[in-house]
Structure 1
């Protein structure tokens, strides 16, 4: 009888833990959480991509901005920790994205507690790390109305040098009709480009989905190559009412509202 009781108890414990974990995540489920701030050792990281995650029962699944991941989530009152984190093995496109992914996963593995206030979820990691998420669709507009629209390129400076503009170039910032997808289109001075963009704080990352394929004159080829070179890196936005500056590791672009 004693052996039967012990075996029954051992069988019940995992199910009880699973039920507690599922109940603990009830306020977190059904939401896509978008990373808005990442702090490592009391230093705020500049986000070049926007990781997301979702709680599904006792598991969490998401993407780092480069790879997908999943892990077991244990939640009890305000305590939280994640089991082994399993990732896909896609190579990230640049060193900055790789570093951000490594930092994000390392913080996730060290999470010990969480705080949920309205639409903001904060995960506390290690001694001085934090991952701050907002529920998708509840944060401030990624593209404020006064940023949306067409901007003409007035100065193009890749790698510290200025390229003379041989033809007009422009970038048009748009929101899709469902207000969730951030889009851009533009002209390099020869070809048209279009794609999507993501923003984390003041940092914007452009993803070019396609271009036209016109043959350009040498001067226009240089201008087009310089513009795409700068747009292919995360860029920090500063702006006034009529002027916009995009600065990144590959150079900067100055624009004037059309």
Structure 2
């Protein structure tokens, strides 16, 4: 009887295992995250794409907000980054064939009241990234799919652009990367930079004045060495912000200007600091 009972238990366990295996392989089920078995450098995802539509919360197809420039860039480093109209974001992604996984997303925390619907668009796109399970590229159109193959976002390939010159405007700090975390700039004290046509940079971290040299070559950017005054920041948060911004400027390798936004990235392609044009 004991042996029979043991055999029955083993048979039941085997049946459960077969049932679970069948569930795992059921159509539409996707319980794994794809590994990057195909080098990212070979993926048609690479490049910058502009959002054209997305799957709305009520099941409708929603066109991208008019007047916004929602751009996302899939980088060779396995990062996807950009802005869907307001805040800068970044996330890791993995790709294997036509399978794609994105997330989690980190972003700055600015409020953008105009144009209407911009914040709703951003929130919805951030909700759709984690449920992305696949993609197709047909010509200059990228379509992201959920695990059942439903279309959840569409993009058009963004045309190649030439960066406008850095020199002239005053740029106000909007956000920076604190290690792996994207943070919004403090409302006060205000940090600003001015790039002069003669190759000089000047401004303030919010606590101290900075000045030095910079050089550009296409999208390449080098900054420094910088001279910094030695006033103490009374606010510990301002001290931390100053430290991260100075480190980001010192490690600058490339820059990109989109509308009124200036992004500076390091040699690994990670965006480290963001400014907005104020004058």
TM-score, scaled relative to structure 1: 0.43
Structure with more strand by fraction: 1
